[in-house]
Structure 1
Amino acid sequence: MRNFSASPRELMASFWRNRNLIKSFVQRDVLGRYRGSVMGILWSFLNPLFMLVVYTFVFSVIFKARWGTGSDSKTEFALILFAGLMVFSLYAECINRAPGLILGNPNYVKKVVFPLEILPWVNLGSALFHGAISLGVWFLAYIIFFGIPHITALYLPLILLPLIFLIMGLSWALASLGVYLRDVAQFVGIVTSTLMFLSPIFYPVTALPERYRGLLYLNPMTPVIEQTRDVLFWGKAPDFSMLGIYLIATAFIAWLGFAWFQKTRKGFADVL
């Protein structure tokens, strides 16, 4: 039986070796999602816009949520909320789909030469495409209402890098677990929905009593959401020390997830 390397070097080598295959699969996934739809890929623009309007109305009008800026501007609230929502949507789309990546592609499992480890990369690539459209909507709205975006927005890829490592590590682990434990998909859906309301998306960290704020920072989404808002809306540079620690921790998580996937993939064909 073939042995699959679980080394950190193989993690990146596999991505680079199969980059063209990943690119073609991402294109197929994006286009296939809207195949047969009258409005096609335009839905990737309308979906986040619609959710933005709903969340803004519920939290700024009904619940009277504020960000402590002293402003009652609905536009300001919407852009601050949308910045956090974009980040969480990237995470949620990948994690919710992860348990079904292998189950949904049994034909690839039977092919010994097919690199199954690229499927989470494909999943991430598709989510990044939709995230980029949402980000374009955000910048367009900011330019219309506030003018030229802050130069600190250029830090955004650096802030998202640890999140990408976290997503990949969890995706490899969940893709493998989803083969052996079919209930994983249901559990992940519940956890993701709960995590959304335990993340500072609809409210600032300062809205919590001070004794509970430390608990909020145990949520891995909190640092990236907060720093995304800092660089996009507030014009602040990221906390590089926190970012460095976060990067090291999530890179380790990515390797653990990849190692688990490589060690367990031998049994996929037998289970499916």
Structure 2
Amino acid sequence: MMLEVIRSVWTYRGFIVGSVMREFQARYRNSLLGALWTVLNPLAMIVVYTVIFSQVMRARLPGLDDGLAYSVYLCAGLLTWGLFGEITTRSLTMFLDNANLLKKLSFPRICLPLIVLLNAGVNFAIILALFLGFLLLTGRWPGIALLALPVLLLLQLLFAAGLGMVLGVLNVFFRDVGQFFGIGLQFWFWLTPIVYPLSILPESIQGLVFLNPMTALMQAYQELFLKGSWPNWASLMPLCVISLLLCAAGLALFRGRSGEMVDEL
């Protein structure tokens, strides 16, 4: 099945690349600042959280007590969470948004999740490049531990893609799925140690928060960018297993219901 997917993607690579380019151009057409909005939106969020929480959280980061530590901690979590949020929320409606395309053209439907991933990846690459430039200029370059970043990103993309595909298919048949997930994503954000370190929570709560599959991933990003530390790979194994299961479930659900989806659109 995987070989068939890869073959289909390769055959329609021109369609995929063209779709990504058109969507990127359409997003910033007639906009004076253009792609700068990709940076300004998360930057505004980081500034707000820094102003509100910096003095409270500054002393709560073990072994770090300087003016930039909390900002780097925030960026590590908020920017990567933004990638996850964009992929999952856009995956929710990817089949609904492309209903006319699905009805009129014959192409592998698996191209749509890939287009969502690539679009989100392009936006994230712009933000990540600026963030890495900031770390370099401020003397906070993570060093050789940065080699772990592609692995963490791949794991995150697998998790987001698998979850997004399952949600996208279900949302075609049950439109409430999108509404529930939008609310759930807000709770999920605050139940993930992004704005606050896990250490400030009571020990009884820490165990529950660590059941959240995004907790270990966010901590890996934060340790990498803030301290230049290698991830705790063992803590990421549950997320790896969940990601593979979600991808398998998403593909199976997608293949099993692709014909019915066209009728529902």
Aligned residue pairs, count? 264
1:33 shift after superposition: 0.9
Normalised by the length of structure 2, the TM-score is: 0.92
Distance between the aligned counterparts of 2:239 and 2:7, measured in 1?
A: 23
Which residue type is aligned with residue 23 of structure 1?
V
Percent identity among equivalent residues?
A: 34
Structure 2: runs of 5 or more not aligned: none
Q: Deviations over 1:120-171 (max 9, x none)?
A: 1111111111111221222122122225432211210101212111111111
1:163 aligns with 2:156: yes
Which has the higher relative contact order, 1 or 2, with Cα contacts under 8 A spaced 6 or more apart? 1
1:196 aligns with 2:203: no
Distance between the aligned counterparts of 2:142 and 2:63, measured in 1?
A: 21
Structure 1: runs of 5 or more not aligned: 1-6
The structure 2 residue matched to 1:142, chosen from 131, 135, 138, is 135
Normalised by the length of structure 1, the TM-score is: 0.90
1:245 shift after superposition: 4.6
Partner SS state of residue 26, structure 2: helix
1:223 shift after superposition: 1.4
The structure 1 residue matched to 2:77, chosen from 84, 94, 111, is 84
Measured on the aligned residues, the alpha-carbon RMSD in Å equals 1.9
Distance between the aligned counterparts of 2:238 and 2:212, measured in 1?
A: 14
Query: For the structure 1 residues 245 and 9, does the alpha-carbon distance in structure 2 shift closer, same or farther, using more than 3 Å as the test?
Result: farther
1:71 shift after superposition: 4.5
Distance between the aligned counterparts of 2:164 and 2:26, measured in 1?
A: 21
Query: For the structure 1 residues 180 and 147, does the alpha-carbon distance in structure 2 shift closer, same or farther, using more than 3 Å as the test?
Result: closer
Match of 2:247 in 1: 254
Partner SS state of residue 74, structure 1: coil
1:230 shift after superposition: 1.8
Distance between the aligned counterparts of 1:225 and 1:193, measured in 2?
A: 16
The structure 2 residue matched to 1:240, chosen from 233, 246, 251, is 233
Distance between the aligned counterparts of 2:251 and 2:41, measured in 1?
A: 32
Which residue type is aligned with residue 65 of structure 1?
M
1:72 shift after superposition: 4.4
Distance between the aligned counterparts of 1:223 and 1:71, measured in 2?
A: 20
Which residue type is aligned with residue 228 of structure 1?
Y
Q: Deviations over 1:189-208 (max 9, x none)?
A: 10111111111101111111
